[in-house]
């Protein structure tokens, strides 16, 4: 097997297979990132006299060609090659001879995979943020459409007070804005350059780590070389936690939809085309889409702890345990992206039931409204409360006024525009364009 650490002896086949694990499969997701990191690294090496200008001029076009192959899904890690790092160097050596062997100066696979994961996560976090925005906008649109359609609000799963579908949809939109605030914190932790920390103790080569950070569009460095390696697992866990916050919001929305779609509630319905059936019960139209959304979200919420269990008891320095992080971390983004896409689609096509509050089962939901009406006539609230409670007890209660909610965030004043501004403020703070411009510059676009 082709390995960057080859010393001329053969490793037992069973040991080799076990230690490589799923690296070759997962590393295909990191190929573009690995090539970008290599381009920045060798550009820095040339600036320090560790590569000649004419050597850099030959290496960069070859790497750009390789990046194009990877971005189009044509990059292959050969069966006898250990990982993406080995494949990139092997491919360069095949096409350029000994020049390909120079790219690893001042670098270890440890800081190489660390920077690959930072670049990969940065790209995927941008994609997830875009899909969160899409769901946010869908929820806000439904909130405005349904702002005058009342529904019962619940506490303890008991009928409580009047709500509206506008208020319900809007609540999940605002929750997503907070989730992106958490993700921005994770973005800031991730968007720092670990390259140049080598195996965790730096290098005697005269590296310029600030230059590679600038070339790759990072905001800063992980300065301490030991911490750059200790950050493995921690950074992934912080990002996974941010993703789990989004999953928690979406999973809770899915649970509401499962509940409200049942015949006992019948607040919402899905078009037949968005439901599935039973192999034995002809009448069934099941909200499987929301049940699976809920299950995916539950699994995503468990990932931060799964990551913690891999690295939580490691001492400082690098350990091969960290390899397993990729198995948890890399697939997470696709799973969350799929959940966000299908949730947006289902919410956009959901139908809500009108005139729900005319049902006598929800009459008591207006008890606070009636108590407040009596307060407006000069009756102390505690006396008004007792009078309404007595009427409910003897069956004579009815609400004699009209709903009139005016305060911010109530059914009469949803504040969707204010919430949209908050979301836009959070999104703009990510500064995705800086990273994109740096990558385009490296690729010569």
pLDDT digits (tens, 9 = 90+) for 151-206: 999 999 999 999 999 999 999 999 999 999 999 999 999 999 999 999 999 999 99
Backbone phi and psi for residue 241, each to the nearest 5 degrees, phi listed first:
-65, -45
pLDDT class for 5, splitting at 50, 70, 90? very low
pLDDT, average across residues 421-438: 96
pLDDT of residue 401: 76
CA distances from 315 to 183, 229, 309 (A): 27, 11, 14
CA distance 371 to 388: 6
pLDDT class for 322, splitting at 50, 70, 90? confident
> Tens of pLDDT along 362-411?
999 999 999 999 999 999 999 999 999 999 999 999 887 788 899 999 99
pLDDT, average across residues 431-441: 95
Please say whether the beta carbons of 114 and 232 come within 8 A: yes
Contacts of 298 (CB under 8 A, 6+ apart): 247, 251
pLDDT of residue 82: 85
DSSP for residue 410: B
pLDDT above 70 covers a percentage of the chain that reads 96
CA distance 215 to 437: 10
Task: Report the b/e string of 64-95 with b at 16+ CB within 10 A.
Answer: eebbeebeeeebebeeebbbbbbbbbbbbbee
> Tens of pLDDT along 343-353?
999 999 999 99
E strand or H helix that includes residue 192: strand 192-193
3-state SS of the chain: helix, strand, coil percent to 5? Answer: 65, 5, 30
pLDDT, average across residues 312-330: 90
Q: Using the predicted structure, report yes or no on whether residue 313 has a pLDDT greater than 50.
A: yes
pLDDT of residue 8: 58
Q: Using the predicted structure, report yes or no on whether residue 44 has a pLDDT greater than 60.
A: yes
pLDDT above 90 covers a percentage of the chain that reads 83
E strand or H helix that includes residue 110: helix 109-145
pLDDT of residue 279: 82
pLDDT of residue 321: 87
> Tens of pLDDT along 50-71?
999 999 999 999 999 999 999 9
The domains located in the chain, with CATH, are 13-102 (1.10.275.10), 109-154+162-358+415-443 (1.20.200.10), 361-409 (no CATH)
CA distance 173 to 167: 10
At how many degrees (to 10) do helices 225-261 and 288-311 cross? 160
Catalytic residue among 278, 316, 425, 429: 278
> Tens of pLDDT along 71-98?
999 999 998 898 999 999 999 999 999 9
Q: Using the predicted structure, report yes or no on whether residue 14 has a pLDDT greater than 90.
A: no
CA distance 420 to 415: 9
pLDDT of residue 4: 55
Quote the longest CA-to-CA distance of the chain: 94
CA distances from 374 to 209, 395, 400, 403, 406 (A): 71, 18, 10, 13, 18
278 among known catalytic residues: yes
Contacts of 65 (CB under 8 A, 6+ apart): none
Provide the mean pLDDT of the chain.
93
Q: Which 3 state secondary structure label does DSSP give 82?
A: coil
E strand or H helix that includes residue 16: helix 13-20
Q: Using the predicted structure, report yes or no on whether residue 417 has a pLDDT greater than 70.
A: yes
Q: Using the predicted structure, report yes or no on whether residue 19 has a pLDDT greater than 80.
A: no
pLDDT of residue 17: 67
Q: Using the predicted structure, report yes or no on whether residue 305 has a pLDDT greater than 60.
A: yes
> Tens of pLDDT along 259-290?
999 999 999 999 988 888 878 888 888 889 99
156 among known catalytic residues: yes
Q: Using the predicted structure, report yes or no on whether residue 1 has a pLDDT greater than 60.
A: no
């Amino acid at each position: 097997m082709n390995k960057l650490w080859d010393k001329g002896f053969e490793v037992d086949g069973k040991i080799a297979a076990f230690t490589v694990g799923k690296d070759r499969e997962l590393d295909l997701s990191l190929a573009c990132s690995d090539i970008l990191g290599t381009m920045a690294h060798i550009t820095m090496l040339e600036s320090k006299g560790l590569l000649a200008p004419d050597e850099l001029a030959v290496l960069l076009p070859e790497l750009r060609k390789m990046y194009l192959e990877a971005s189009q899904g044509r990059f292959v890690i050969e069966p006898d090659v250990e990982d993406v790092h080995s494949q990139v160097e092997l491919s360069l050596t095949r096409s350029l001879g000994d020049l390909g062997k120079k790219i690893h100066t001042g670098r270890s696979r440890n800081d190489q995979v660390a920077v690959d994961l930072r670049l990969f996560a940065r790209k995927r976090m941008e994609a997830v943020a875009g899909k969160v925005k899409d769901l946010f906008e869908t929820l806000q649109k439904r909130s405005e459409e349904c702002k005058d359609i009342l529904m019962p609000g619940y506490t303890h799963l008991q009928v409580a007070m009047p709500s509206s579908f506008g208020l319900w949809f809007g609540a999940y939109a605002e929750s997503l804005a907070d989730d992106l605030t958490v993700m921005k914190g994770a973005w800031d932790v991730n968007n720092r350059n670990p390259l140049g920390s080598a195996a965790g103790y730096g290098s005697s080569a005269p590296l310029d780590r600030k230059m590679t950070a600038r070339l790759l569009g990072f905001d800063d460095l992980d300065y301490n070389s030991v911490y750059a390696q200790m950050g493995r697992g921690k950074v992934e866990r912080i990002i996974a936690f941010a993703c789990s916050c989004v999953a928690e919001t979406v999973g809770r929305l899915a649970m509401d939809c499962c509940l409200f779609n049942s015949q006992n509630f019948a607040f919402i319905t899905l078009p037949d085309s968005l439901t599935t059936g039973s192999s034995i019960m002809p009448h069934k139209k099941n909200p499987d889409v929301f049940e699976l959304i809920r299950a995916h979200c539950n699994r995503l919420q468990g990932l931060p702890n799964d990551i913690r269990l891999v690295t939580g008891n490691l001492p400082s320095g690098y350990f091969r345990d960290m390899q397993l992080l990729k198995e948890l971390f890399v697939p997470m983004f696709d799973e969350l992206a799929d959940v966000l896409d299908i949730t947006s689609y289902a919410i956009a096509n959901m139908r809500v039931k009108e005139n729900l509050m005319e049902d006598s089962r929800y009459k008591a939901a207006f008890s606070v409204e009636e108590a407040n009406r009596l307060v407006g006539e000069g009756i102390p609230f505690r006396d008004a409360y007792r009078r309404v409670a007595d009427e409910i007890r003897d069956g004579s209660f009815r609400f004699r006024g009209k709903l009139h909610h005016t305060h911010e965030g109530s059914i009469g004043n949803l504040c969707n525009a204010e919430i949209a501004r908050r979301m836009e403020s959070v999104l703009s703070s990510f500064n995705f364009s800086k990273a994109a411009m740096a990558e385009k510059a490296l690729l010569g676009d």
